[in-house]
Structure 1
Amino acid sequence: MNDIQVTVWNEYRHEKQNPQVHSIYPNGLHEAIAGYLRKDSRLKVRTAVLDEPQHGLSEEVLDNTDVLVWWGHKAHDEVQDDIVEKVQQRVLDGMGLIVLHSGHGAKIFTELLGTNTPSLKWRDDGEREKLWVVEPGHPIANGLSDFIEIEKEEMYGERFEIPAPDELVFISWFEGGEVFRSGCCYRRGTGKIFYFRPGHETFPTYHQPEVMQVIQNAVHWAAPTEGAEVTYGRVERDREHQASL
């Protein structure tokens, strides 16, 4: 089995501008995520950030990425449209995409889902979240118990304006009573997409092993797999097949 090539992408703005965020993620959210994933010998992990040339997502990087993990929040509009188009095409061609937390507003997520920035309720007061597993047989839930409890997180609440997921793995409950579809799987082209809700920058969510286990599981689920050859457009009739009928 070949290694899975993973690129963890992050804006890397909050960590440089907000002392509280820097204290939690001194090397950036991307390095916190990548550091955990690097413990898995089957994964080869690099990072990329917004302010690098081509946002760190050159054709060479994308061509050598099996799964792209995406965290964005305050600078969605700064992501260049031509880079979004290249990422989108790679997903359609089979690259996996994992979109985290406020990445629901990222251009790449809205383009692939065919929607405007998805609307939702939110409250960043730091309250308890129970992330319930509602599809226990799903590979992304491998190794988990019935739920993950996060002591302090930002609340996201329904209605969440997204297309109905192909598979729903997690639903969140918050202290205020709100619920949220927090683990949503989609297929676009031959690529797989997973949206995972937790991960507000002012809370140490990406230091929690159960949360990171979900991301690790999702990387393996989203990795490209061999399938049937895909063709498009006009094709000639198969004369040998016709003759055998």
Structure 2
Amino acid sequence: MVVEVWLLLLLSVMASAPAVWVLDRHCFKRLNGANWRNNDPSFSTIFLNTFASILQKPTTIIPKGASHRILFLSWWLYCLFMSTFYSGSLVAYLSFPSQSPSIDTLEQLSYSDYRWGALNSYGSDYQLFRDSNVYYPHETFFPNGFGWALRKGSQVRRHIDDMFSDLLQAGMVKLWLGEILKKSAVEASHLTGKDEIDVTRMGSQASDADTGPKPLRLYHLQGIFMVAGCGLLLSALVFLAESFYVRNIR
């Protein structure tokens, strides 16, 4: 999990423990009368029981009132979902460990720890990479263009420009270039005797870092935090309703 998820997990424990303590004192005071302090658990006991729920350990606190039960229900659901997601992510990472991310752009290359350079020759790169599986990054290091030569003042120039713009915006040029690369890679595999699958994978710009297990981010766990937040809000509303009922009706 990323740092944001760990921070929110810590904040959820820090926020839920005081809420459980307040509701617990309110319920014990309402149910036990003058002797409520003798049976009321301490804040440290409540905090340890709240933290133990995340570790899938049984708690010794039994909820009494409606607001207390609602808060415990939402907290237990939150702990169940969080532990399940974390266990699944940990098993996936241990089963298929992710590799270091590939360098796709010049900016990533500049911020990386790799030592890079350029060879002052034309045939050495071919001799070096002709028997290697080369990873094609998503950004072109040496961009080149193409065009059609037209007569000066041609009437079809604007139409051709519009057609090129539509093809680029629709992604057709990128698609066709990818198909050409795959086709040339397959033809090269037949000439060199290499495995066709490896060469096709080389031209598809896919890497193990892109297809491997991903760390749990806030985007994946936002529903779990919403469950905990809704439980806190609903228990607070029920707590206010109980307090109003005890003071005004009784």
Higher Cα Rg, which structure: 2
Shared fold (TM-score, shorter chain, > 0.5): no
Structure with the larger RCO, 1 or 2 (CA within 8 Å, 6+ apart): 2
State TM-score, norm by structure 1.
0.25
Higher percent of residues as helix: 2
State TM-score, norm by structure 2.
0.25
Higher percent of residues as strand: 1
